[in-house]
Every structure is written in structure tokens, then in C-alpha cells.
């Protein structure tokens, strides 16, 4: 019976162990299934395989080394310790193996978890082909290898300390199983107390033992203490001789551990010298005069002293001279303190008074290496005259640039999309992005945004969240340069299903299963059809036909129900054998899970190509260990960055591809060596998608901010900060703020055709005039080229804030702003655009108005500044024509403004003088009514109509003279 019960208990325990093991592996197994679905099994298993390749040999070697070490300890102990106790050697051997295994497990776990990726980078490192100027080592040593060596050194120091602890614990075990005889034992004499005075020697009576029998009660009764006869006690005495004897037993082990510890300390100081290359002292980022001449030599002295300390420690322990063992570490502390003090004195008394000469060599290194770290070494500098000689013909000849000036803004466009294109309350446009497309044969800059399901706005039922409302639908696309007559974006693609006015763009697969708002898992191919899109008062339904998803057999269903903590997933009758679960649909979480060692842009953007929708996401390689490079962000010390990878995610199938666009980046190439199946060459990206890659504003903004200091290459100018720049400010909304890069389609000076670029203007430090315009090119073979258009210092060229000041001083503009403000309408100013045309600069700023009864801002006016002139008109075309003459600028063919303009022109030409007068009177009456109602938007619109009809009634003077 007992055997049966034990057998049942064993089976139950085994089952429980298997259940616990299964539950603990569910995350791993389901992740494996997901990576397999993506075709990235090798990426998923890379970590596990590497850890096993490192961990298994490490565990075996350390286990045997630890066991052999303990065996030597045991042998030495048994040789030197005599004892009458019998030792159970079999049990002691099992304890030795157990301690060795536990020790090996701990060391292996720490080593494998901390070092596996550093080992891969070390083994697959790609050379930078640039050596640091101090130690003459390739930069790859610092970026890929130094971190591994330093972490390995720290782990080895930890292992040595752990060995010391293991030694103490094992000696404790040995002392418990074999107690040494060198502990002195002394007997304490027996104590006696008589019952009565002077009666000790007499015979005892029955009452003599009263106190003995009744203890304290007897004492209280008789008034006498008991006559206590105790057996002699044997006491172990632990004196200094015993301590010395114990030390002598562990002497060799203690010496070995001590020597290894001090050697590791020496290695630690050896490695610390490399940290000087990305430190910061005085004016230099990297090793400066103080670092090279003081700190470096202090580290080297401490290295030597560490070796001396190891020798002294060995001598001191072996000869029982503890002062010898500790004297060198004390000297090391003193040297460290003296070195720190000397460094401060040298910095203050020698370097600072003559810093420009003392640090000149090191500043030169700082400039050179920082420019390379941020890819600023090949900026093309072109002089730009910034003349004021533009003509109407120049405007006409640059219509590719003019017709792509962005007068719409992101926030108003997003509000407009959400209010007019959401269609239903559960759709949302998360943000608006800028891109470029061929629109009816013209290269056109556009706004676009994906229409996604807002999962917080659908009814909170499991069926709706995971089976019914599974995907968004389509996108909106509008021109950035044109608005409708009501001041709203001029739509190119809108509605559900998407309706396109663009011949080149047709969307055949508008469903968005993967996006920025898709946080829930979904179930596809169930018995319940998915909601597809609204169709008037009815809804259209569909079934997913894509490749994404993991088949839900019974085992998978069980695992995912545990993973998602949903019993409904396990018991739902809607799930069939053909059903699939689609997880990790949020594109930002998706890429982070696949490749967590890249930094990702926070703003993915959607594109349409070949009838499908794709998300594009910029990924960056970064480092904090680039020698002599100044960090752009002091919070995380990043001092190297490249945008070497573009990630493309299919919005329908979830296919996620990583394309290597910069094959000269050593970090990206190292990652490709580690994950060869993950990264694809850029030429493998379809050309239809290549046309939509952008030079990211995140990287460009970092480069622009670094370049405002590091455009100076003369050391003396750099040190004196004689030519420091600032990124220009602007009035955005109603507040002054630093400008950020903006995208444009423009024909750059000296180029033959328009291209997609982003740019940002500079002003001198603490000044308002403009000194340069930095441009990043985005198209074709020119992708990534940086061009600085440097303005002459011999004359004043107005900067954005000086133009903003002119706008504020313009009486017509300020009066209208005040009227809008007093009427309760909210006006705001958009981005200031600095546009180079020929050899001149044009400034454009849209103005938005948001009336009380409307939450959608309208483009109400466009301000164009040129030289000392300012035009303030309803459209960009009108503003340009008022500055450069009628006919200089025309509306883009096919835009709603152009069509309306043509229609108005035909209608107006057919009107008689009397009809024109009546129209003018009607516009005047409407303007007066709008003024009384406080509707200043309508008031401005009717005044524009009045001016138009009055102009038609009174032809220009030139026409009147020709008639004469």
C-alpha cells in the first residue's frame, strides 16, 4: 500500500512539474510560432542558440573547475587537520558536487544573460577604417569590443569574490564534518554550596536535600542555598593560535584569490584609460591635455601598483605579515587622491590660463571625429548671394517650387480629416504625414493619413474587439499647397471606399490590419464575418484573405488563451480549425520585438504603392562610445548616429522587411553579420517604395543642431565660438519657438529639376539675421546629401524672426489680427517657410482662422515676404502676383482653386456692367451683415468678392490708356 501511495504521489508531482514547465514555456513557444509566421526563426533562435553555445561549455568547465578546486581544498584540509571524528566521504562528495553545480549555474547565468549579444558584436565586428589618435586603435574596438571586455572583467571580479565566498562556505562544511583537534578543551571544577555553615563535612540528613529537591522554593523555606554538585564541563577555547592555524590551512587558496583579484583591478585600470576618449574635460570632448598628461599616467601607475599589490598580498599572507598585504592598496588610494588633486590643479593653473594652445591639438581631434560621427564630414558648402532681383518670369519659371509650398499645416489637416473623413465615430486619423507622389503627371507634395479603428470607441465586448472590428480602411491624401474656397485641404483621395482623383494612385487593398492604433490581437477566418466598411446605412462585411496569423489547433488555442488570459478564446464556437490568431499588430511594438537593438523613429508614415498600403519606419544605429565625439543628448550620451535601416510593413499582411540603405555604416553591417536573414539590401526594395523613402527629420534635426557649432573647422575660431550659429526661431501659433526641419519640393539653386528635400535655416548666435540654409536631399542617387547654402556676411539678410517682426508691424495685418481676436475667433500662424528661388530668398507663412462656431481651422490668408515687401492675400497665387505682377503665378492645373478660378473667370467675363455693380452691392451688403454678426471669416470673404467686382468695373489704367 505504501509503495502504491508513493507511486501515485510521484506521478502527481511529475504531472505538476510538467504543467509548471509547460506554463513557463508558453511565452517562448508562442513567440516562436509568431517569428516562424514572419519567416524569422533564425532571428528568434539566435539568442537562445548563442546562449546555449556559450552557456553549456561555460557551465561544464566551471562546474569541473569548481569541483576540482573544492577537492583540493578538502585534500589540504584533511592533511593538516587531525580529528577523531569519522567523516562520511560519500556525503561530503555529494555536497562538493552540489556546491560546484550551484556555483556554476549562478556564474553561467550571469555571464550568458549579460554577455551573449556583446560576444556576437565582438565576433562579428566590422571595421570603421578610422583609428583613434591616442591609442591608434580602430574605432570598432570601442564600439563593438570594449564593452564586452569591460563587462567580462567585471564578471571575473565578481567570480573571484564568489570563489572567496565559496571557499569560506566549503571550509564551514569541512569544519562541521571533521572538527579539528587543535581546539583546546578545559574542564571547569564542580561547584558546591553547603546547606548550613560549618556542617559541610558532616553526614547528610533527609533535610539536607530540601533545597536540592525544591529549588528556589526550598531556598525561600530554609534560607539556605542548595548544595549543587555539577559534573565538570568541557569547554572549547577558540584562541589566536587556532585562527592562525585555520588561515594556514586556507593559505594557498587565499593567496590565489587575492592575486587574481588585484590582477583584475589592474585590468580594470587598463580599461579605464580608454574611457578618456569619450569623456569631457574643459573645452574638449574626448581626452584633453589634463587627461593625456595626468589622468592617463595615474591609471598606468595604478595598474603597476595593482600588480605590486598582488605580489605583496601573496608575501604578506605567506609570511603572516598583514601590514605587507595591505600597504600597497593603501598606497593606491593615496595615489588616486593625489592624481585627482593634481589633475584639478593642472586644469586650473596650467591649462585654463592658456587653454587655446594647450588644448589646440585635442580640439582639432574633437572637431574631426564629431563631424564624422554625425555624418557631417561631407557637407557641400555653396555660396548663396541672397539678392533681391526676382522677377515675375523667375516666379513663372519656378512653378515646380511655387506649386508645392505647404500652406496647409499638420494639426488643422488632422482635425479636418477626423471631422470630415472619419465617416463613423470609431474611425480615427492618428496623425498626418508628408510625402510626395506623381499627381496627374506632376511631382506633388502631399499630406496623407491612415484611417484606423479607434479600439477605445467600439463597444467593449470580446466579439467586437477581437473578431468583428479587425481593421481600418483606406487613407486620405491631399495637396499641401492648395485649399478649397472654404480654406480646407484640397483632397485627392477621400471617402470609403477610397475615391482617387489621381490617375497614378489607385488603392486595391485598403484594409489596414497593422497600424499605429492596432493594439488588440484579432481572430481571422472565424464563423463570424468581419466588419469591412460602412456603406450608407448598412455595413459591408468580409473575411481576411491575407497571410498573417497563426493557425489555431487545439494546442495553439490553449496556449494563446493562457497567453492572452482569455477563456473565451478557448471556448468560443466561432473559432474553427481554419481560424488564425494575429498578434503584435501595433507596428512600433512589432519592429521592437523583432529587432530591439535598433532605435526607431516615433513617427511611422503610410504610403500607397502598387495598389497596396505600406508603413515606412526609419531605424537608427547609435553608439555612446565614439572617440572624441560630443554627445547630442547629455541624458544618454549618444555620440554617433546613422539612419541605416528602413523598415517596411505591409498594412494588410503584416510582412515586415528591414532594408539596409547605408552599407557604409559599420554598426548596421555588424548587425547584418549577426542576423543575415533579417537585413536585405536596399536594391531589393521595390522601386515603387524606394520613391517614398525620406531623410528623417529626427536625424536631420540632430545634425542641424550639431552643425551649428561644428561647421567651424578652424580650432581658434571654434574655441572662441566666433562663428556660432543658432537654429532660427519663428512665430508658430502665437508663440516664438525654434524652427524644426520642413519638407519641400523645390528646384535647388543650380539644379535642373525640382526634388524632395528638407531644410532648416540658421542665424548667428543670439542674432536674428540669417546666415545659412541647411538642406538634405531625399531623391534617388542624391539621397542623404547635405548642402549648406551659406549667405554672405557682408550684408544683412533678414532671418525668419525679422520677417515675423515686419508682419507684426504691418498695419493691415495687425488690424485684421486684432479684429479676429476681439471677435473671439482664434487665429494662428503656421510655419515660416524659407524658399530659395534662383539667387534670392522668399518667405511664406500661412495664417489660420478658427471661428467660434467651428472647430476646423481654415487657411484664411497667406503672407509672402520678399526683401522689404509683404503681400497679405487670400491665396498664395494672389500674394505672389501682388508682389511680382499679375500672371507671375498660376494655380496648379487640376486643383480645385484653379477650376474655381476658371469657372469664376468665365462667369465674370459674361457679366454686364450693371450686373457687376449689382454683384458688388450684394457683396458689400453681405460684408456689413457678417461684420454685425461677428463672423469675421465671412466678412473677409465678402470683402474679397467686393474687391474683385470693383476691379472688374474699373479696368486697369493700362487698358484705359490703350483704348484712348
User: Cis peptide leading into 467, omega within 30 of 0?
Assistant: no
Q: State the Cα–Cα distance between residues 225 and 229, nearest whole angstrom.
A: 12
State the pLDDT at residue 961: 42
Radius of gyration (C-alpha) of the chain in whole angstroms: 41
| Tens digit of each residue's pLDDT (9 = 90 or more) over 907-956 | 555 566 656 666 777 777 777 767 766 666 667 777 877 777 777 766 54
Sign of CA dihedral 552, 555, 556, 561: positive
> What Cα–Cα distance (Å) separates residue 926 from each residue in 196, 622, 819, 942?
132, 61, 17, 6
Report the run of H or E that residue 342 belongs to, with start and end.
Answer: helix 322-346
pLDDT at 768 over 70: yes
Strands (E), 586-716: 599-600, 605-609, 612-623, 640-650, 656-660, 679-681
CA gap 880, 863 in Å, rounded: 9
Is the model's pLDDT at 571 over the cut of 80? yes
Cβ atoms 668, 375 nearer than 8 A: no
Main-chain dihedrals φ then ψ at residue 188, nearest 5 degrees: -95, 135
Distance CA 612, CA 338 (A): 68
Cell numbers of 268, please?
Answer: 580594470
Three cell numbers, residue 649:
510593413
Mean pLDDT, rounded, for 407-419: 90
Adjacent-strand bridge partners of 623: 640
Pairing, β 786-790 against β 380-383: parallel
User: Concatenated DSSP letters for 363-419?
Assistant: HHHHHHHHHHHTT-TTPEEEE----S---HHHHHHTHHHHTT---S-HHHHHHHHHH
Under DSSP, the state recorded for 319 is T
The H helix count followed by the E strand count for the chain is 32, 36
- Report how far residue 625's alpha carbon sits from residue 278's, in angstroms, rounded to the nearest whole number: 6
Pairing of strands 840-850, 826-829: antiparallel
Residue 613 bridge partners (DSSP): 608
pLDDT of residue 320: 77
In this prediction, residue 187 carries a pLDDT of 52
- Residue 4 pLDDT: 64
- Measured between its terminal Cα atoms, the distance across the chain in Å is 131
Q: Which residues pair with 647 in a beta bridge?
A: 617, 658
Beta bridge partners of 535: 538
Q: Is 256 exposed, middle or buried (0-12, 13-18, 19+ CB in 10 A)?
A: middle
Q: Where residue 819 falls among pLDDT bands split at 50, 70, 90? A: confident
pLDDT at residue 935, rounded to an integer: 65
pLDDT at site 177: 79
DSSP annotation of 354 reads G
Percent of the chain with pLDDT over 70: 86
pLDDT digit string, tens, across residues 681-739: 999 999 999 999 999 999 999 999 999 999 999 999 999 999 999 999 999 988 999 99
497: preceding bond cis by omega (within 30 degrees): yes
User: Residue 470: how many CB atoms within 10 A of its CB?
Assistant: 26
Who's near 794: CB < 8 A, 6+ residues apart? Answer: none
Q: What is the pLDDT of residues 885-904, one digit of tens each?
A: 887 887 665 444 444 444 44
**Residues paired with residue 774 on neighbouring β-strands, in sequence order:** 760, 788
Per-domain boundaries in the chain: 48-183+238-249, 210-235, 265-358, 395-585, 586-694, 799-963
Residue with cell 537654429: 727
3-state secondary structure of 476: strand
Distance of CA 738 to the CA centre of its chain: 22
61 in Cβ contact with 695 (< 8 Å): no
pLDDT at position 213: 40
Identify the CA nearest to 832 among candidates 847, 812, 817, 816: 847
In the predicted model, is pLDDT for residue 184 greater than 80? Answer: no
3-state secondary structure 45-97: HHHHHHHHHHHHHHHHHHHHHHHHHHHHHHHHHHHHCCCCCCCCHHHHHHHHH
Q: What is the pLDDT of residues 857-869, one digit of tens each?
A: 888 899 999 988 9
Query: pTM for the complete prediction?
Result: 0.84
pLDDT category at 250 given cuts 50, 70, 90 is: low
Find which of 6-20, 179-193, 419-433 is predicted with most confidence, using mean pLDDT: 419-433
Q: What is the dihedral of CA 782, 788, 789, 791, to 10 degrees?
A: 180
User: pLDDT for 583-608, tens place per residue?
Assistant: 999 999 999 999 999 999 999 999 99
Least confident span in 410-414, 846-850, 956-960: 956-960
The pLDDT of residue 940 is 73
Residue 206: predicted pLDDT: 44
Compute φ and ψ for 224, nearest 5 degrees.
Answer: -120, 150
pLDDT digits (tens, 9 = 90+) for 290-339: 999 999 999 999 999 999 999 998 888 888 788 888 899 999 999 999 99
617 pLDDT more than 80: yes
Least confident of 242-251, 340-349, 861-870: 242-251
DSSP 8-state code for residue 638: B
Q: What percent of the chain has pLDDT over 90?
A: 62
Instruction: Give per-residue pLDDT as tens, 187-208.
Output: 555 554 444 444 444 444 444 4
Average pLDDT value for the chain: 86
d(C-alpha 709, C-alpha 632), whole Å: 11
> Is residue 285 very low, low, confident or very high in pLDDT (cuts 50, 70, 90)?
very high
How confident is the model over 108-127, as pLDDT tens digits? Answer: 999 999 999 999 999 999 99
Amino acid at each position: 500500500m505504501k509503495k502504491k501511495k508513493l507511486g501515485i504521489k510521484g506521478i502527481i508531482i511529475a504531472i505538476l512539474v510538467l504543467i509548471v514547465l509547460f506554463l513557463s514555456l508558453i511565452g517562448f513557444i508562442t513567440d516562436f510560432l509568431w517569428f516562424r509566421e514572419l519567416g524569422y526563426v533564425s532571428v528568434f533562435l539566435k539568442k537562445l542558440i548563442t546562449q546555449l553555445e556559450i552557456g553549456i561549455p561555460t557551465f561544464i568547465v566551471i562546474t569541473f573547475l569548481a569541483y576540482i578546486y573544492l577537492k583540493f581544498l578538502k585534500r589540504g584540509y584533511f592533511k593538516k587537520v587531525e580529528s577523531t571524528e569519522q567523516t562520511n566521504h560519500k556525503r561530503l562528495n555529494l555536497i562538493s558536487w552540489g556546491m560546484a553545480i550551484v556555483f556554476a549555474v549562478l556564474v553561467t547565468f550571469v555571464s550568458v544573460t549579460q554577455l551573449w549579444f556583446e560576444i556576437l558584436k565582438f565576433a562579428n565586428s566590422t571595421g570603421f577604417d578610422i583609428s583613434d589618435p591616442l591609442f591608434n586603435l580602430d574605432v570598432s574596438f570601442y564600439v563593438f569590443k570594449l564593452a564586452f571586455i569591460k563587462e567580462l572583467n567585471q564578471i571575473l571580479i565578481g567570480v573571484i569574490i564568489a570563489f572567496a565566498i565559496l571557499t569560506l562556505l566549503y571550509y564551514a562544511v569541512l569544519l562541521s564534518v571533521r572538527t579539528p583537534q587543535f581546539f583546546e578543551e578545559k574542564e571547569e571544577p564542580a561547584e558546591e554550596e553547603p546547606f548550613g555553615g560549618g556542617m559541610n563535612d558532616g553526614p547528610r540528613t533527609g533535610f539536607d536535600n530540601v533545597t536540592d529537591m525544591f529549588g528556589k522554593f526550598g531556598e525561600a523555606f530554609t534560607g539556605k542555598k542548595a548544595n549543587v554538585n555539577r559534573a565538570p564541563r568541557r569547554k572549547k577555547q577558540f584562541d589566536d593560535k587556532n585562527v592562525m592555524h585555520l588561515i594556514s590551512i586556507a593559505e594557498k587558496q587565499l593567496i590565489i584569490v587575492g592575486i587574481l583579484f588585484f590582477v583584475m583591478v589592474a585590468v580594470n585600470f587598463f580599461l579605464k584609460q580608454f574611457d578618456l576618449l569619450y569623456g569631457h574635460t574643459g573645452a574638449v570632448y574626448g581626452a584633453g591635455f589634463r587627461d593625456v598628461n595626468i589622468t592617463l599616467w595615474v591609471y598606468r601607475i595604478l595598474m603597476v601598483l595593482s600588480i605590486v599589490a598582488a605580489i605583496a598580498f601573496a608575501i604578506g599572507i605567506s609570511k603572516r605579515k598583514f601590514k605587507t598585504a595591505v600597504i600597497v592598496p593603501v598606497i593606491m588610494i593615496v595615489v588616486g587622491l593625489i592624481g585627482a588633486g593634481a589633475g584639478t590643479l593642472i586644469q586650473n593653473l596650467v591649462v585654463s590660463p592658456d587653454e587655446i594652445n594647450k588644448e589646440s591639438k585635442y580640439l582639432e581631434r574633437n572637431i574631426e571625429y564629431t563631424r564624422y560621427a554625425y555624418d557631417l564630414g561631407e557637407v557641400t558648402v555653396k555660396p548663396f548671394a541672397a539678392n533681391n532681383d526676382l522677377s515675375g518670369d523667375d516666379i513663372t519659371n519656378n512653378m515646380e517650387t511655387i506649386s508645392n509650398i505647404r500652406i496647409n499645416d499638420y494639426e488643422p489637416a488632422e482635425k479636418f480629416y477626423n471631422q470630415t473623413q472619419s465617416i463613423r465615430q470609431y474611425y480615427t486619423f492618428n496623425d498626418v504625414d508628408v510625402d510626395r507622389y506623381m499627381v496627374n503627371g506632376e511631382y506633388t507634395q502631399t499630406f496623407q493619413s491612415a484611417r484606423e479603428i479607434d479600439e477605445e470607441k467600439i463597444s467593449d465586448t470580446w466579439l467586437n474587439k477581437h473578431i468583428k472590428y479587425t481593421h481600418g480602411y483606406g487613407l486620405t491624401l491631399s495637396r499641401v499647397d492648395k485649399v478649397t474656397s472654404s480654406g480646407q485641404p484640397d483632397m485627392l483621395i477621400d471617402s470609403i471606399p477610397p475615391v482617387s482623383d489621381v490617375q497614378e494612385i489607385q488603392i486595391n487593398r485598403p484594409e489596414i490590419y497593422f497600424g499605429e492604433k492596432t493594439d488588440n490581437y484579432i481572430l481571422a477566418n472565424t464563423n463570424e464575418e468581419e466588419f469591412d466598411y460602412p456603406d450608407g446605412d448598412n455595413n459591408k462585411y468580409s473575411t481576411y484573405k491575407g497571410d498573417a496569423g497563426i493557425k489555431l489547433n487545439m494546442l495553439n488555442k490553449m496556449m494563446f488563451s493562457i497567453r492572452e488570459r482569455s477563456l473565451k478564446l478557448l471556448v468560443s464556437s466561432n473559432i474553427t480549425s481554419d481560424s488564425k490568431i494575429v498578434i503584435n499588430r501595433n507596428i512600433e511594438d512589432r519592429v521592437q520585438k523583432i529587432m530591439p537593438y535598433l532605435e526607431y523613429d516615433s513617427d511611422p508614415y503610410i504610403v500607397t504603392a502598387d495598389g497596396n498600403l505600406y508603413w515606412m519606419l526609419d531605424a537608427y544605429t547609435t553608439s555612446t562610445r565614439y572617440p572624441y565625439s560630443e554627445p547630442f543628448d547629455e541624458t544618454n550620451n549618444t555620440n554617433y548616429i546613422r539612419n541605416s535601416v528602413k523598415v517596411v510593413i505591409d498594412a494588410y499582411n503584416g510582412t515586415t522587411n528591414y532594408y539596409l540603405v547605408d552599407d557604409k555604416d559599420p554598426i548596421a553591417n555588424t548587425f547584418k553579420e549577426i542576423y543575415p536573414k533579417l537585413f536585405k539590401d536596399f536594391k531589393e526594395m521595390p522601386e515603387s517604395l524606394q520613391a517614398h523613402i525620406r531623410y528623417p527629420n529626427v536625424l536631420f534635426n540632430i545634425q542641424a543642431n550639431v552643425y551649428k557649432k561644428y561647421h567651424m573647422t578652424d580650432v581658434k575660431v571654434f574655441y572662441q565660438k566666433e562663428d556660432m550659429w543658432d537654429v532660427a526661431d519663428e512665430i508658430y501659433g502665437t508663440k516664438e519657438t525654434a524652427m524644426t526641419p520642413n519638407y519641400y519640393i523645390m528646384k535647388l539653386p543650380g539644379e535642373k529639376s525640382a526634388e524632395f528635400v528638407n531644410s532648416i535655416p540658421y542665424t548667428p548666435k543670439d542674432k536674428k539675421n540669417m546666415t545659412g540654409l541647411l538642406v538634405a536631399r531625399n531623391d534617388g542617387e542624391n539621397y542623404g546629401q547635405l548642402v549648406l547654402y551659406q549667405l554672405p556676411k557682408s550684408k544683412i539678410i533678414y532671418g525668419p524672426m525679422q520677417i515675423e517682426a515686419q508682419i507684426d508691424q504691418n498695419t493691415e495685418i495687425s488690424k485684421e489680427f486684432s479684429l479676429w481676436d476681439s471677435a473671439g475667433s482664434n487665429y494662428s500662424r503656421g510655419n515660416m517657410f524659407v524658399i530659395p528661388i534662383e539667387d534670392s530668398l522668399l518667405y511664406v507663412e500661412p495664417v489660420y482662422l478658427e471661428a467660434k462656431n467651428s472647430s476646423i481651422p481654415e487657411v484664411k490668408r497667406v503672407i509672402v515676404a520678399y526683401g522689404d515687401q509683404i503681400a497679405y492675400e487670400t491665396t498664395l497665387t494672389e500674394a505672389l502676383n501682388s508682389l511680382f505682377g499679375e500672371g507671375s503665378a498660376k494655380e496648379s492645373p487640376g486643383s480645385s482653386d484653379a477650376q474655381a478660378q476658371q469657372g469664376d473667370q468665365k462667369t465674370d467675363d459674361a457679366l454686364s456692367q450693371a450686373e457687376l455693380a449689382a454683384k458688388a452691392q450684394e457683396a458689400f451688403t453681405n460684408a456689413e451683415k457678417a461684420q454685425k454678426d461677428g463672423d469675421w471669416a465671412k466678412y473677409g470673404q465678402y470683402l474679397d468678392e467686393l474687391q474683385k467686382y470693383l476691379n472688374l468695373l474699373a479696368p486697369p489704367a493700362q487698358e484705359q490708356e490703350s483704348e484712348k
